Structures are given as C-alpha cells and as structure tokens.
Structure 1
Amino acid sequence: MAQEQAGRVLRSVKWRADLTAGVLATWPADPRKRTSQEWEQVRTAIPGGEGLPSSVIKGRTRQAVTFLNANGRLPVDVFELEGAPRVPRMLLLAACDRQQATIERGDTDPGRVMLRLQLPTRVDPHAYGDWTWVACPISLPPMVPVSAVLHLPTLRVTGRQVRADVAYTHTVPKAKRTGHTVAVGVDWGLNTLLSAGALRLQADGRITALGAGGQFRAAGVLAKQHRLRRLSERLHAKADHYQRLTAGDQQHDLAGKHAVLSDEIQHVSARRANLNDALAWAAARWAVDQAIAAAATVIYVEDLGSMEAKGMGRSLNTRLSQQVRGKIVDRMRHLAAEVGVAVVTVPCTRPERGRVHFPVRRCEPTTSDRPHL
C-alpha cells in the first residue's frame, strides 16, 4: 500500500517536473502575454503539451514569476519552486491481495458488506503474530446494484471518522459512437450554471428542436460559494499578516492566534470542497435527466480546455475561475455511462447572433466501465 501511494506521488511529481521544465526552458519575453510562436514553443517543450489547457501553463508561469520577484532569478526546477508534497492519510487496499484484505456481501442483506483486513496490534510489528484480523461492516447506498462486483476500497481518515471509497463494476448499456438521432446540447453560464436543449436529426438532414429547453439555476448555492471564497481570502490575508509578524517564532504572543486562523482556514476549505462536490453532482444529475427525458443517446458539452477567466473585471473573473465546471463534466460522464448515454466535449463556435452549434452527425463517446462510488 505504501509503495502504491508513493508511486502515485512520484507520477504526479514527474508530471509537474516536466511541466515546470518546459515553462522555464521557453521563458517568454513578457510572461503576462505570450505570442503565438512562444505558445507553440512551450507546448512543444512539454510532453503532451498540445492538449494541455492554457490555464495550466499560465498558472505555472505565474508561480515562476512570483519566485522571480522574491528571489531575483528563475527557479532551477520544480523542487525549488514547490515545497514537499503532502501525502493524504489513506490505505489503498486495492494494492493488496486476499492475505491482507477481503470484502464480501452479506447473505441476508445485500446492502451490507463485510470488510476484513489485517491490522497491526503494536506500533512496530515484527512477526505474523503482531497482526490481527479486524471486521468492518459497511452499509452500501441503495444506488449500488445488487449484481455489482465490489472491489477493495480506499480507507480515508476524515476528522474522527474513517470513510471507505468503494469501487464497483456492473454491466451498463453500451454507448453508441454513431447513429444518433436525438441529442442534448449543454452550454455554460455564470448565474444560470447550465442551459440544455434537445435536438432531433430528421431523415432529410434537418435539425429540429424538441421543446424550449431548460436551465439549471443554483443562485443560492453560488452565492454561498462566493461568500465562503471571500471569507477564505480574508482569513488567508490575516494568517499571512500574523506569519510575517511572528517570523516563525512559536513563542510569540500572536502564535496562538495564527494557529486558530489556520484551523479555521482548513474548516472553511472543507466546507467549500463539500459545497462544490454537491453542486457538481446536482448539476450533472440534472443534465443526464434531461437526456433521459428526451430519449437522447448523446450529450454534447462545450469544451472548457481553452477557457480562461480574463477581460471581464476583477470580481467577475474571480467568480468565473471559481466555478466547478470540470467536476460537473466528470460527474456527467459517470452518470451518463450508467444509462448508456455518450458524453462528448466539442469546441463550440459562437457566430454573431450568439448561437451555439453542436455537431450532431459525429461523436466520440467517453464512457466509464468501472464507475466509482
């Protein structure tokens, strides 16, 4: 389990190291605005940079600019630019065999499973006798099919609780690549988070709209999200000010206040993360329900790979950058795969009248054969 977790951290470090090396090797004349030739150079220098969102490259460039302003030179590599990675407290039971952990459904109640794993009875186990089997009953939500094959979970420590991320595999309808006649197009907005409309491709090639479409509005949730963001910004500003005043001295009179602020920042960050996850699941569920109601076999979503929050004012740019659109697309793929609906991200063209055209004749579905709970 430790080797698997270390391997994941190392793969992440390798990707960030290649990204940082490519940005530093092709440092632009003006870091705030690259020319088209400089964009081509930096994408060529990064492995897989052709499909990398420009916001990722810009974020790494801003990180290097901050280091340049503070030290008067560019960083050498990612290890000088970033601190030590934080490893989450979790047990990856999927990396084990049956000698370490097993999971089975109950005979009488299929909604309950029994997870059995070996845990040490002492801090420094030396022999097999220092380990013992522990039984952990887990209740599954009703959305998990009875015929699903369960896989060993990942155990996470959240506060004073241990949560299990259980992966399962079950048979779902296969999404079609071609031959779609009914599609749902989904577009993004700021106050109206999602707008969707169903279209039908007629036999003569004409495309007709099915109804007036719908909108997913989450004004209350988004307002709360912005309030938490502003609160987090104020807390970070206070914590940074206390950090400068204490200069790392744990005996300083303000060290206690800095510790309290740090705990509050973590609490607010957890609230923001939970709110974003709930919003992403709700929006994805709404979009997939629109496709089910319209008997559509494909959902077209606007590609967000090149989307950047700029040119709309400081407040509006911040609100756009805080949206959870990437999470919504991932959740949408997950939910659509269970009903055999293909999800396609397409580059959208916006003519003068502001209409959005979706290519209904072609699609490349993205499905998941192993959804996660």
Structure 2
Amino acid sequence: MPTLRLHQGRVRADLAYTHAVPKTRRTGHVVALGVDWGLNTLLSAGAARLPDDGTITALGSGGMFRAAGVLAKQHRLRRLSEHVHTKTGHYQRLIAEDEQHTLTGRHQVLADEIRHVSHRRSNLNDALARAAARWAVDQALAASASVIYVEDLRSMEARGMGRTMNTRLSQAVRGQIVDRMRHLAAESGIAVVTVPARGTSKHCPRCMVPLRHRKAPDRPTTPGWKWAVCPSCRWQGDRDQGAWQRIAARGLSHQTKTVTDRASGAMTIRTVVEKLEAGAVIAPAPKTSRTDRSKTGPTRPRSTRPTPRRRRTPSPTRPPGPAGQRPEGHAHTVRRLPRAALRNQGVTTISTHRPRGARTGAGFHLHAHASPPRWEYLSGAKPDYGSPS
C-alpha cells in the first residue's frame, strides 16, 4: 500500500519500487541447491549437478545454518508466554464477573506482559526468517544454481512425532523462511520448488539402502539419530548432509513433474515416481591417486645447495665511529678478543676500609672490578683501575 506524507505543504505518496527480474524456469536445471530442515541446525544445504550423461554429483560437502542461540531465546520466550497465559487464566477464573476484585490490577499487568512477549517473539521470528532465507539464497548464488529444492512443509506436519518434537518444529518459522526465500530468489531468477520429504533422511543418497543411524561417528554401536551409516556402500555422514543430497537429487530427477499453483504461483513436485526415483542417486566423486606424478609443464630448477643459515650470511658494514649498535648477524666486523679476555680483573685483598661500590668500579662485589667501557680499549687507551680501597 502507498504511504502518504506531508512535504513542503503538499501531500506525497510513496509507492513501492519495482523492477524487472529474470523469469524462473520449471525445467532445464543443471545445478540445484538442496535444502533440508533441521532442529538444532535450522537449515542444511548443498549443491548438486546434473550433467548431460544423467549422473548426479554433489558439489562439495554443503553447509549448515546454525541458529542455536536464537532458537534457545525463542524457546525461553515460548515458555514465558505459556506461563503468563496460565497465570492470566487463573486470575480470570478468580475474578469471574467481579470488576472490583483485588486481582483486577494484576490481571491487567499480565495482559500487557502477554502483548509485550508476543511482539518480542514476532520480531525474533521475522529476523530469523530473513537471516535464514538470505543465507540459503546466497548459497545458491555462490554455486551458480538456478533452482532451490526445499522439503514440502505439508509432509512435515504432526503425525505421531510427539508433543516435544511438534513444538520444536512449530517454532522453526519454516513458512516465513520459504516465503522470504521465494521473494529473494525471484530477484535473481532462481526458482524455489518444494519436493516431498518422505524418505530423504532414511535412505542412502548413493545406493538408496536404508541407513543405520548412530549417535556419533566415534560411537558406531550407540543408537542415535545424528550420524548415518550405510550398511551397503559404507557411506557415512551427518544425517542432514545425506538429506540435502537426496532432496537435490530428487528435485533434479523429477523436474519434469514440476507444476505451478495458479493461486499462489508457487512451484512444487507433488508425487514421487518410482522410475525417476531410481535414478535420483548421488554418484561418488572420482578418486584422485596421490601417486600420480604426471607433468603439466617444465620442472622448476632447484638449487643444489640449500639456503645458507643466518650465521653463514655476512654481516653488513659497520657504521663509522668509535661506538654504535652491533650489526645484524653473528660474524664479527672488527678484530678483538672476547669480552672475558679483556676484563683483566686482578684479585685484591679485602681491606678494612669499606669501598664505595659502583663508584670505584667494584660493582656489586667488594673485591671485583666491573668491565671497562667498550670505547676505552677500542681507542687504544689502557684502562686505569684504581684500588677499590
């Protein structure tokens, strides 16, 4: 809807800006992005390619959109909303028809708190939907995909999954994510197609054999749901990783069955055809031998001598003057004896007279002299040590 505003005594109407975008295609896709819904990892996505020979290959290992912190905050707000609703209902039963009841003020405070929590949950869901949709479209753009295949939300409704699982799925704002994903993808000419989700996490993406789910890769005997192992081809990986590969392969093999809803304009694949499903497998990537030493160009010349160590490298020229900072390196630039040979410290008898310490050159020890300054013996002057006493 247009927005009316006053500007310099005139009423102006702000209209939404629209521009032409490429038209999305139902068929003819070569690179597709498969998106799988998760619980802790909200989205798992990866790209797959369908070349002319009909062999589907995965492009990389995919990625995951983790929103554990946002989902935890969302869960806390949901629990708070349930608690406030329960307390408000209890106050309502106590108040009944009495408008002068002492709990009327508290009931009004709780009603305001319910509205405040609802606004917070709504804003959090909008931010989460925008971020997840933007991430999925960016993954498609990076892989040069022309279509995004997403699991059909209708097949993920409550069907004996339990109260906890249904609650967690309902908090994932999946409908908002798909709507925003369609909006962002249409700007780049990328189609968003929903595919049936049945069996995407159950079967192996390479041989279609039912997977064995384990708790973790380092616990192969502990039952779980996160890690999947194929008993036939020995493929193993994250459950969500195998799911997005199955979704992308199913969408590419069934793209001729894509239909467009006349009311909403959304594209979907409604049914799975067994004949096409048999070809919806991900071929393993070709293995490259590490012993392959075939040359692609001339051999780089290599020196027979190794790079000299730092101590073998000559030092730069010493700066002029009697004193200065020692140059880099370990090689000496002047001919002089080691420091210990030039000390010439004679042993003196201990006197009853107390010496004046460092002022007489004795340092910290009463009967030992400190080393002479460097400029004294460099200039040729013989150091003159007086008696410490």
Normalised-by-shorter TM-score class:
0.5 to 0.7
Determine if the alignment matches structure 1 residue 209 to structure 2 residue 58: yes
Structure 2 Cα separation of the partners of residues 134 and 307 of structure 1: 52
2:151–2:196 Cα contact (<8 Å) kept: yes
Structure 1 Cα separation of the partners of residues 97 and 164 of structure 2: 33
Question: Deviation per CA, 1:211-233, whole angstroms, max 9, x where unpaired?
Answer: 10011010000000000000000
Distance 1:195 1:366, change over 3 A: farther
**Deviation (angstroms), 1:333:** 0.2
Amino acid at match of 2:251: P
1:344–1:365 Cα contact (<8 Å) kept: no
**Deviation (angstroms), 1:199:** 0.4
Determine if the alignment matches structure 1 residue 360 to structure 2 residue 248: no
Determine if the alignment matches structure 1 residue 315 to structure 2 residue 175: no
**Partner SS, residue 249 of structure 1:** coil
Question: Deviation per CA, 1:45-103, whole angstroms, max 9, x where unpaired?
Answer: xxxxxxxxxxxxxxxxxxxxxxxxxxxxxxxxxxxxxxxxxxxxxxx658xxxxxx5xx
Question: Deviation per CA, 1:184-221, whole angstroms, max 9, x where unpaired?
Answer: 00010111110101000011010010010011010000
Question: 1:340 aligns to what?
Answer: 189
**Deviation (angstroms), 1:319:** 1.6
Amino acid at match of 2:120: R
Question: 1:3 aligns to what?
Answer: none
Question: 2:34 aligns to what?
Answer: 185
- The structure whose residues are more often helix, as a share, is 1
Q: What is the aligned residue count?
A: 218
Higher Rg: 2
Amino acid at match of 1:360: L
**Deviation (angstroms), 1:305:** 1.4
1:175–1:365 Cα contact (<8 Å) kept: no
TM-score by length of 1: 0.54
**Partner SS, residue 251 of structure 2:** coil
Amino acid at match of 1:255: T
Structure 1 Cα separation of the partners of residues 188 and 2 of structure 2: 29
**Partner SS, residue 318 of structure 1:** helix
Distance 1:278 1:345, change over 3 A: same
2:154 pairs with one of 294, 302, 305 = 305
1:184–1:199 Cα contact (<8 Å) kept: yes
Structure 2 Cα separation of the partners of residues 366 and 169 of structure 1: 23
Structure 1 unaligned spans of 5+: 1-91, 95-100, 102-114, 118-132, 138-149, 152-166
Amino acid at match of 1:340: G
Question: Deviation per CA, 1:229-279, whole angstroms, max 9, x where unpaired?
Answer: 000000000000000000143211100000000000000000000000000
2:126 pairs with one of 271, 277, 280 = 277
Distance 1:134 1:272, change over 3 A: farther
Question: 1:228 aligns to what?
Answer: 77
**Deviation (angstroms), 1:294:** 0.1
Stretch deviating more after TM superposition (346-355 or 329-338): 346-355
**Deviation (angstroms), 1:365:** 6.9
**Deviation (angstroms), 1:318:** 1.6
2:156–2:197 Cα contact (<8 Å) kept: no
Distance 1:330 1:267, change over 3 A: same
Distance 1:244 1:134, change over 3 A: farther
Determine if the alignment matches structure 1 residue 295 to structure 2 residue 114: no
Distance 1:341 1:269, change over 3 A: same
Structure 1 Cα separation of the partners of residues 160 and 188 of structure 2: 40
Amino acid at match of 1:287: A
Runs of 4+ in 1 over 6 A off after TM superposition: 365-369
Structure 2 unaligned spans of 5+: 204-209, 212-241, 266-389
Question: 1:84 aligns to what?
Answer: none
Structure 1 Cα separation of the partners of residues 186 and 120 of structure 2: 29
2:33–2:140 Cα contact (<8 Å) kept: yes
TM-score by length of 2: 0.52
Distance 1:237 1:136, change over 3 A: farther
Question: 1:242 aligns to what?
Answer: 91
**Partner SS, residue 172 of structure 1:** coil
Structure 2 Cα separation of the partners of residues 168 and 254 of structure 1: 51
Distance 1:335 1:248, change over 3 A: farther
Question: 1:172 aligns to what?
Answer: 21
Amino acid at match of 1:333: R
Stretch deviating more after TM superposition (343-352 or 262-271): 343-352
**Partner SS, residue 155 of structure 2:** coil
Amino acid at match of 1:212: S
1:343–1:365 Cα contact (<8 Å) kept: no
Structure 2 Cα separation of the partners of residues 310 and 178 of structure 1: 32
Question: 2:67 aligns to what?
Answer: 218
Amino acid at match of 1:253: T
Give the percent of matched residue pairs that are identical in Structure 1 and Structure 2: 66
